[in-house]
Structure 1
Amino acid sequence: MSHDGVGLRAVMRSAAFLTAGTLAVPALTGCGSADPAGKPQAGQDIAAAARARVADGGTLRWAVDAVPDTLNAFQSDADDTTTRVAQAVLPSMFRLNASGRPERNPDYLESAEVVATEPKQVVLYKLNQQAVWSDGREIGAADFAAQWRALSGRDTAYWTARNAGYDRIEKIQRGADDLEVKVTFSRPYADWRSLFTPLYPKDVMGTPDAFNDGARRRLKVTAGPFTVERVVRRSGEVVLTRSPRWWGEPAKLDRIELRAVPRGKRAAALAAGRIDLAEIDPATARRVTAAARAAGAPRPGSGRPAAAGAPDSRAAAHGLDEKAADEGSGTRGLRRGRDRALRGFEVRKSLEPAYTQLALNGADGPLADERVRRAVARALDREALAATVLKPLGLPAAPVGSHLALPGQAAYADNSGALGEQDTKEARALLGDAGWVPGGPAGKRGKGEKAAGPEGGAAEKESDGGAEGTYIVGEDDKREDKRGKRDDGGEGSDGKARREAGREREDSPRGDEPRDGEPGAYAPKGTAVPAGAAAPLAKDGKRLTLRFVLPSGPGSGTLHTVAGRISRMLARVGIRTDISKVSDESYFTDHIASGAYDLALYSWPASAFPATDARPVYAKPVPGADGSLNVEQNYTRVGTDQVDQLFDQAVATLDEEEARSLIRKADARIWAVAGSIPLYQRPQLTAARKNLANAGAFGFATPVYEDMGFFAKGAKRAAAG
């Protein structure tokens, strides 16, 4: 996973800021009004086709980040590939639809419902009569019970990563017959649909040894349209084959080969014909798209006229200077040949069920003060940041309005009003109220630096902010806020230049290095700060500078571009940022999880069950017995008792409307304390062979593996109309 997608796995603030009176929480939508959840901002892009249009047979070679360390999805080192395998070979009681909402999976369930609430909550599962494991045994209560015991947390011999929900189960019993499973809860649990997906056989869950070690490298018993044939770590592949025991619609494909291909090598693997489907970065997406568009252009010297509107070279297709493109012609010729080989592919795009946020570490330093965090948030133009990333890709560029759900999901509502819109004047007022005033530390101005005047004008040079790692504030980024100028990311000449600069950075050799002199490039020591920046702020003789930590590896170019925009926005209210680029390996463990940062960009996945899955991300940190702070997954170290209480109430109510209301209230209060600022839903770009059906950018929906395949001869033309 890219660092823009870090997955879901301390100074206390003043009590004055925890009072409800300080939180500007908007009234929530009442009954009878329009559903605030709305619709997903982007739908699936999978070349959807009826099964009759898909040929029988074939092998799909699908790029993944790595061969998984474990095939047990409930272990701490499970990854995205583990999930992909589990979806194809194991039962799921519920799966997500295109709006990110859980739906009963009829291949395994005839029904599932709450049949009692007093004195205890009881859920009755009625299983599909044909549902069997690959060894012929019926799926039943024994499998449910074994999974509950393994994941309940009562037996520490099981090395489990999570117990949420299973720890609320009191007992599991056989119902009226072998096809009924009755689950009784000791405490009400609203997110009961999250349980038993995936469901492992009792052979895996029955003993600690089988759970801890037996399912790491192989799954002997499965129950899906595919089964695991082998995992070959040396060659980097997981091979899934069509299951002869599958009772549902038979899989169209004979095999799915999940091949480990690093992100930076996927363009070459696609061109070489080694893979058919791969998530890709924006730079590779542009190459695939340009190759497809150039398919109608003549080869040099062919004498054939170009198709109308077709670019006459790869350089022209990318908007590059033809003369400059001729330099280094040897590598250019190789690249052109590879790009021609990409003509059999297309880019399928949607939005991931995940969002990128700006995290503000409230453990100590300036950001321990809620007013400073709120000032940072009010300085940001989130619309412009979303546009920076998504507009060039042709994707909807609306900022995300919730920490706990995404548009289309049941719990979604735009609660950003609890914090307020971008407002430079208000941000400066909050900083002043917190004691941060214009003017650097006395006696520490650099040569040629002017002290800030009474009007708060910018100093000509920074004494300590011009070292490498500080972002330049570009002249083209002087824009007024909503009361004056604003950075709207529009279609004007400077907006276009900014987008082009972002594209160039994506196409740089490492894909992550801004170029000298561009907005967002690193400044040499002593670089002048243009008039667009406000005077630096200081308090008690200390300059207000925040350490902004970013990953340095390939694929982090988008984060660097966004960080540059954020730094310039903060500079306009007097906040300086010190950019620290760290290795990919240490970014999360040594900086985010350990709290060694002030500002950082990383992503959280959306969940259909936020009361369960999001609580550890926003829970108030509590001191441990050894004096250390237990933050769970709350890496901003910002939380309140009120938010915790709202989560607890939401997970314990069986009234779905009430649960959604409680989640939305919790989100409004998370916005108000400004520990993290959601920015944009992440783009999902997938290169797929043009004749591949029912696969690509899945968006929210759980893939339907048995429907994937290659178009039957002539079917694609008919499907296209």
Structure 2
Amino acid sequence: MRIRSVGIRLAVPITAIGLLLSGCSANSTEAGDVTITGTNQINPHDPSELRDGGNLRLTISALPQTFNPLHVDSDADASEVVSWTMPSPFTSNARGELSVDTNFFTSVEMTNTNPQVITYTINPEAVWSDGTPITWEDLASQAHAQSGKDPEYLVAATSGFDRVEKVERGADDRQAVVTFNKHYAEWQGLFGYLLPKAATASPQAFNDFYRNGMPLSAGPFTVTNIDRAQNRITLGRNPKWWGDTPKLDTVTYSVLDIPARIAAVQNNELDSTDISGIAEVTTARNTPGIQVLRTPLPRFSHFTFNGAPGSILEDPALRRAIAKGIDRQAIASATQLGVVSDPKPLNNHIYMQGQEGYQDNAGVVAYNPEQAAKELDDLGWKLNGTVREKDGRKLVIRDVMYQQDLWVQTAKIAQQNLAAIGVELKIETYPGQGLFTDIIDPGNFDIAQFTWIGSVLPLGALPQIYAYNPEVPLSNKGKIGSPELNALIEDTISELDPKKAIELANQADRMIFEEMHSLPITQSPGTVAQRNEVANWGAFGLASPDYTKVGFLK
């Protein structure tokens, strides 16, 4: 996992999502003993037990629209591919504890608090794939690009860079000194993907340099081929890599629909894939040569509401009433029973169940169909036959999502719930390619179902997703927010005391529920079907992969 506080949209969901860790045995699929301080399941082996070489076959939902992971057009597929190839200051272990990635930086530390100053000392061996050194200028250029000062840079999030006053050369070209004009709580999340200055020097470079490929990178692997006819991306060893030699020769990502993935692992066409739901878990467990690994992940599924002016759900009181009519416990039970031992809905937008800071803030929208019906009546939405109407407009809501059985199952439960209170929910499914750019980003929905992926640093999602600036909406897909919430988010991400930051984050979360920006559904059980010979890969939970140690048993 990249150590970023940015939430990433995921068009091709796993059922559910979370910041938990598992201490279960490799073939366990239930979550009764999952804790935040547990271990993850990656079939760990010493590199000496692995053979040199081999091709790891993985899958994505669509070819990335850009390979710039900081661009607004990026998504989880792009991040998955790029993570093998780019520098990052920190890594995380299975408990979510951070340490400096010494492949790229010899030290990263806060060297002053007033003003806040972070000093990055770059590994003197670190170079881009064309042989040029990684220097402070790369950090300075990226900080400017992500600052939000120039709207021509189409960034997914400013992520603390909007608070950077300056980036200066330190002791030499291999040291960057970053000075803030406001405190930033999650400073470890900065430069979660460090890009070369060639990719950030201008808006055109930022938007286009990585649009169709990756001409520069600096990880143990590089993108060596993009076959758009076969929908396949190949990564190979980086000949300029200065760290431990990777065990794998290549990694291949193929575009594959979710329903076909479990069969591809069974048929030895894939080596590892995320799975969801008891049917897929059972199929994997009953297939010789395949193991089921599970460690809950920092991601969650949700209903995002469209509250933009003129939309049918513009009124927050109407959004709250509809939310009270959706039985999220029924959804959790239907989609996760048998995969986890005690399925529960997620009741927090910021923290996952079991994570420090998690508390139930969803009381304002707790399932209560009788109360929901009364509130709809009070708002003037009166029953006319089976569907409510107001001022001649029927209460018909379009729910859009990726075409996948578990998303549709979730929507059908909500559809039945809402029909009982006179709300018609129309289910619309779309392929992964274009779901965001063509449907969700333009606001062509009333409710959208998709997944947010987070990290061990969750607060950065607050300004990216839940703050709202009509001029720069970032990832606030429903265009819902308030000046009061914006101010509280500002206070939260400025708080350097972790305990106080948690208190403020939960205050913000309660306000997010009151506005009914979005309704969390479930957090991910993090189940993976993987061939037995694959080592040091699988269900990572909070941990960062070590890409040099992934491989196949001898």
Q: 1:404 and 1:379 mapped to 2: Cα distance?
A: 23
User: What pairs with 1:297-376 in structure 2 (closer than 5 Å)?
Assistant: 343-363=288-308, 367-376=313-322
Partner of 1:87: 83
Deviations 1:510-560 (A, max 9, x none): xxxxxxxxxxxxxxxxxxxxxxxxxx76667876x3424244x641x2222
Give, as a single letter, the amino acid of the residue that structure 2 aligns with 1:88: W
Confirm or deny: 8 A CA contact 2:87 2:104 kept in the other structure: yes
Aligned partner of 1:114 among 83, 94, 110: 110
Partner of 1:645: 487
Q: 1:683 and 1:416 mapped to 2: Cα distance?
A: 21
After TM superposition, give the deviation of residue 690 of structure 1 in Å. Answer: 1.1
Confirm or deny: 8 A CA contact 1:405 1:606 kept in the other structure: no
Confirm or deny: 8 A CA contact 1:684 1:699 kept in the other structure: yes
2:501 aligns to what SS in structure 1?
helix
Q: Indicate how the Cα distance of structure 1 residues 427 and 68 shifts in structure 2: closer, same or farther if over 3 A, else same.
A: closer
Q: 1:361 and 1:218 mapped to 2: Cα distance?
A: 33
Aligned partner of 2:134 among 133, 139, 155: 139
Partner of 1:567: 415
Q: Determine whether 1:128 maps to 2:123.
A: yes
Partner of 1:47: 43
Q: 1:586 and 1:256 mapped to 2: Cα distance?
A: 25
Q: 2:208 and 2:368 mapped to 1: Cα distance?
A: 55
Confirm or deny: 8 A CA contact 1:41 1:407 kept in the other structure: no
Partner of 2:245: 250
After TM superposition, give the deviation of residue 667 of structure 1 in Å. Answer: 0.3
Aligned partner of 1:547 among 380, 397, 400: 397
2:508 aligns to what SS in structure 1?
helix
Q: 1:575 and 1:53 mapped to 2: Cα distance?
A: 61
Deviations 1:329-366 (A, max 9, x none): xxxxxxxxxxxxxx333333343432122334445577
Give, as a single letter, the amino acid of the residue that structure 2 aligns with 1:405: Y
Q: Indicate how the Cα distance of structure 1 residues 77 and 434 shifts in structure 2: closer, same or farther if over 3 A, else same.
A: closer
Which structure shows the bigger proportion of residues in helix conformation?
1
Q: Determine whether 1:581 maps to 2:428.
A: yes
Q: Which runs of 5+ in 1 are unaligned?
A: 7-37, 293-342, 442-462, 466-535, 625-629, 713-721
Deviations 1:633-679 (A, max 9, x none): 43444323221111111222333332222111100111223332211
Q: Indicate how the Cα distance of structure 1 residues 133 and 589 shifts in structure 2: closer, same or farther if over 3 A, else same.
A: closer
Q: 2:443 and 2:214 mapped to 1: Cα distance?
A: 38
1:250 aligns to what SS in structure 2?
coil
Deviations 1:167-205 (A, max 9, x none): 332222222344432111233322322222211233443
* 635-644 vs 132-141, greater mean Cα deviation: 132-141
Partner of 2:61: 65
Partner of 2:255: 260
Confirm or deny: 8 A CA contact 1:386 1:399 kept in the other structure: yes
Number of aligned positions between the proteins: 525
Partner of 2:361: 415
Confirm or deny: 8 A CA contact 1:151 1:162 kept in the other structure: yes
After TM superposition, give the deviation of residue 99 of structure 1 in Å. Answer: 4.9
Partner of 1:381: 327
After TM superposition, give the deviation of residue 255 of structure 1 in Å. Answer: 1.9
Q: 1:159 and 1:130 mapped to 2: Cα distance?
A: 31
Aligned partner of 1:707 among 538, 543, 549: 549
Q: Which runs of 5+ in 2 are unaligned?
A: 1-9, 16-33
TM-score, with structure 2 as normaliser: 0.82
Partner of 1:304: none
In terms of Rg, which structure is larger? 1
After TM superposition, give the deviation of residue 699 of structure 1 in Å. Answer: 2.9
Q: 2:517 and 2:74 mapped to 1: Cα distance?
A: 28
Q: Determine whether 1:75 maps to 2:20.
A: no
Q: 2:244 and 2:464 mapped to 1: Cα distance?
A: 39
Identity of aligned residues (%): 31
After TM superposition, give the deviation of residue 692 of structure 1 in Å. Answer: 0.6
Q: 1:57 and 1:540 mapped to 2: Cα distance?
A: 67
Which structure shows the bigger proportion of residues in strand conformation?
2
Q: 1:146 and 1:648 mapped to 2: Cα distance?
A: 24
Deviations 1:467-513 (A, max 9, x none): xxxxxxxxxxxxxxxxxxxxxxxxxxxxxxxxxxxxxxxxxxxxxxx
Aligned partner of 1:604 among 452, 466, 469: 452
Q: 1:616 and 1:210 mapped to 2: Cα distance?
A: 23
Deviations 1:68-115 (A, max 9, x none): 343322233333343223321211012344355654323323332222
Confirm or deny: 8 A CA contact 1:264 1:554 kept in the other structure: no
Q: 1:591 and 1:244 mapped to 2: Cα distance?
A: 41
Q: RMSD of aligned C-alpha atoms?
A: 3.5
2:291 aligns to what SS in structure 1?
strand
Q: 1:599 and 1:75 mapped to 2: Cα distance?
A: 24
Confirm or deny: 8 A CA contact 2:473 2:479 kept in the other structure: yes
